Each structure stands twice: as structure tokens, then as C-alpha cells.
Amino acid sequence: MPWRWSPAPPSAAAGFLSSYVLRSDNSALGGLSGIEVGEDGLHFTALSDRTHFVSGTFRRDDQGHIAEVTFGPMPVLRGKGPNPLAPGRNDSEGLAIAPDGTIFVSLEGVPRVLRYRRLDGPAENLPSPPDFARMSKNGALEALAVDAAGGFTPCRKRQARAAFRCSALLKNRWSQIFDLPRDGAFLPVGADFGPDGRLYILERQFHGIAGFSSRVRALTLTDADELAAIETVMQSPTGLHDNLEGISVWADAQGRLRLTMVADDNFMPWQRSEIVEYTVAPAAPAG
């Protein structure tokens, strides 16, 4: 079934391409917190914060803008057996798909990361370090990205002036890699590795009745996974977009780096689900 869309107002934000409000008669549509776009820019997988997942396709016009979104059923993630994840343990937030097709999902509530060989199959619980248990209920594993080596999880922290811890899962063991410095009141809510090798962190700031502003910072990591550089590559004005929480970074046919982001409407009628796309410059070649 198709999503019906309408374009958002034009944006003065640098790199803005388009934004589409998504509407559907399917009551499961909403709370979208994760998205992964295929290398062709036409196929996608999205995840809601109530464990519904969906695969679909974009039909694009001659300028590469999304003209229609078509998707299938929206089932829920399973636990280790045939049943859905239990209530209180099903606050799914981050989505990452490895090059070999393995899917990783991070959760709040009970902070942990699950691995799926296929999204309609059983979950595998990955090891959870003691730090996970100490995270606040609504301030845990919102952002998840995976590269060929392992999974990186920027953990959203509530403490004032605290940095955001970024960890890696390597050989089934978690270790702290670096701390992402806090810059203003933005909180990390999504992450993805781009084709240029940088780690892109989607952050949002809530301004009350004025709405949300969003920012994407690109992190350059050394071969030792140390933080070498941070660049802000996108920042939206307050109220332009809704609650952007998921991000996918990919290169289009023209070689442009695209950020495809999805908004969580919290299942509230005054908010909107939307897919937003920006283009940014890739990392400059070394040397």
C-alpha cells in the first residue's frame, strides 16, 4: 500500500533536498525511530519504537526526489522464540544493517542490543555490559551504527555537561571507544556510517511549543577508533522538521552524499511522520 505524502515548506537550511509527510490508514505507522536505505536509494527498512518494522521502496522523480513510498505489512520484532518482544522490553530505537545483511536493533527501557539474521526471525541477545543497566529509562541506546568491524552505540546521557559515550562491540565484547563531546542542548538520537567512512550522528533539540531542531555531526575516526575530527554538516531551523530520530547515509547516482532521515511522531495527531533528505559533502581525501 502507498503512503500519501505532501511536501513540507521550502527550507533555507544548507543542503536541503525535500521533505515528505507520510500518511497511512495503517494504525501501526508512527513512532519511526530508525531507517536504513539501500545503496540504490530505492529500497529501505524502517523501525518504529513499538517494534514494528517495515520494508518498502521509494519511487523517485527525474530529480531524484521521492515521489511515492510503497511498503508491505508492519509486523513486530520477535524475541528469542516465536513470540513478540515482551511489554516493557520492546522500546526499539536504533536500527543498523551490516554489510552481510545482519540486522542490529538497540532498545531503551531495558537497554540492550539484539541481533537478527532476518527481521522476521528470532532475536539473539548480545552481551550487555554493567553500564547498560545504569542508563536512565529514556536516555539509553537511541543511536546505533555498524561497520565491517562491529557496532557503535552512542549512548544518550542525561547528566548535565556529560559527554556521550560511544562503545564498540568487537568479538562479542563491548568496550568504550571515545566520548562524543556535548555541544549545546542537542542529544544524539540516530547514527550511521557513510560511504566516506565517517560516523554520522543525528542529534535533536526540543524547544517546547516551537518544535524541534536537528543537527548532524560527522565524526572522523582514526584506525585505532579514536576521535580525530568533528564537523557539523547539517543543522535545521527550529520547527522546520518534526522529531527526526533515524538516519541513513548513502551515495546517489551522481556521487552526492545523501542523508535520509525519518521523524518519530510519537503517535500524536499534532506531530507528523516525515522522510527528510539532505545532501552533504563527503570527507575530503586524506593528504
CA distances from 124 to 87, 112, 155, 172, 242 (A): 18, 11, 21, 12, 33
Write down the architecture of domain 2-277 according to CATH: 6 Propeller (2.120)
Instruction: Answer yes or no: are the C-beta atoms of 174 and 159 closer than 8 Å.
Output: no
Instruction: Answer yes or no: are the C-beta atoms of 222 and 228 closer than 8 Å.
Output: yes
DSSP letter for 187, please. Answer: E
- Residue 266 makes CB contacts below 8 A (sequence gap 6+) with 30, 31, 243
The span from the first CA to the last CA of the chain, in angstroms, equals: 49
Query: Pick from 185, 187, 212, 211: which is nearest to 201 by CA?
Result: 187
pLDDT per residue as tens, the chain (287 positions): 344 434 444 445 788 998 888 777 777 788 899 999 999 999 999 999 999 999 999 999 998 898 889 888 889 999 999 999 998 889 899 999 999 999 999 998 889 999 999 999 999 999 888 888 888 777 778 899 998 777 788 777 665 667 888 888 877 788 888 889 988 889 999 999 999 999 999 999 999 998 899 999 999 999 888 899 999 999 999 988 999 999 999 999 888 999 999 998 877 878 888 999 999 987 776 65
CA distances from 218 to 77, 148, 191, 229, 252 (A): 30, 18, 10, 8, 18
Query: Which residues on neighbouring strands pair with residue 13, listed in sequence order?
Result: none
Q: Measured between alpha carbons, how far is 277 from 20 in angstroms, rounded to an integer?
A: 9
pLDDT of residue 161: 63
Q: Measured between alpha carbons, how far is 66 from 284 in angstroms, rounded to an integer?
A: 28
Domain ranges in the chain are 2-277
* 132: helix, strand or coil: helix
* 209: helix, strand or coil: helix
